[in-house]
A and B are shown apart, each in its own frame.
Chain A
């Protein structure tokens, strides 16, 4: 009886928090736009085979560099492939990149930051020094170096971006941990005999989560731009993959006469990265009014 009563009571609590956040976000037109674009992106990626009007890899050399309209919504590229369908399938690549990077970067940053902040002492000094070294490079330059060493491919680009984007998360998690390391509830947990590992996992990391989630969302815009930059330089996804940055790179040669080859993927990148920036901005206000003007 109690089991039945308590489990539905807990779920709506969590769900209603999410609903509150969503309601808050939808009230501001900018974050509503961000949410809408991301929803469209996810749906497009999920339903790509049904949305795409053509096979994204099918070449048609009789029908190259067609302007938008005339059976091809965004025209065709230098090999006669339908640009709209390529963009639709490219959404899958974009989502894959941000999902994989976030899944790797979030936990690493949280654990490094929370450990450094909670344990302190030499552990803090060593971990933060390592973080500083990675922070000493702009993310694109360090990713460039890693991809150059690993060899150009989409997988290596994802690894390189992940390797370069955990330090800001770790910094943030450490700063958050420092603020409540001395809190009474942590002391209570310690007095009850909880191990440092348990305290970090159960008491500290959940407290860091909101700000880390905001930071991850804001990071996604950077991740998308870095991935597109790597693709543009030929170090990310390789042809014939319909990655948006790589599409811009190949379209560059035909740009003067066929602007749509470059314009369409660029607008897609711009929309998605703008959406994540707007959403992150909105989340910052929704989850933590205290920090509204900070970071």
Chain B
């Protein structure tokens, strides 16, 4: 009886190991031929008469399923190797590492045939747009139709924040100095830094605080924004030449949304 139990335990361990091996092959992209199909099938066959309860049978079925996946991977592996595209990944990696960027980009150009595509307004599209414009209710009327409470928005000043005990002037000035120093450190080896990379923090509260401090740095002229319109990325860099309260000839307001959703999106991107 004890021997029978031990056999079952051993069999279960073997099946779990088979499942784990196949799983690893699939997940990590290992050579699928490390799964010796004949041997593992033999193991499954040996222990099959021992299985009586549904759990054990499920484990047996799962092992078979994983072996089937491994066989599929083996088949794909052979198919890929037999195609003209097969190359040793290490060889490609070595080539990519050794060749200069310019050469790689030139090689790419030889194999690149970009799609020709035009985005243009058609006469039908224009007619539809005119129709839409004619039927569009003026903003004033549309806003009147909206129901529900409307939130009053406004602006706040540093003095008001101080009165509310949200921030102290001296403390704020000190924080700004530290923040500016941090920005300088972050851009020591590069000319600028991505806005979100700099203001982004582990919590939304901290991110909002950093965005707030950054707005002061930019307003005071200690830092400037650079916008890459192609990539839609905002960069920020410290401005050594400017002094606080300087009169900028081209001063402009630049709104940046730092909402909770934006922060979450950034976090997801940063964690990858």
- Whether chain B is bound by chain A comes out as no
Binding site for B on A (CB under 8 A): none
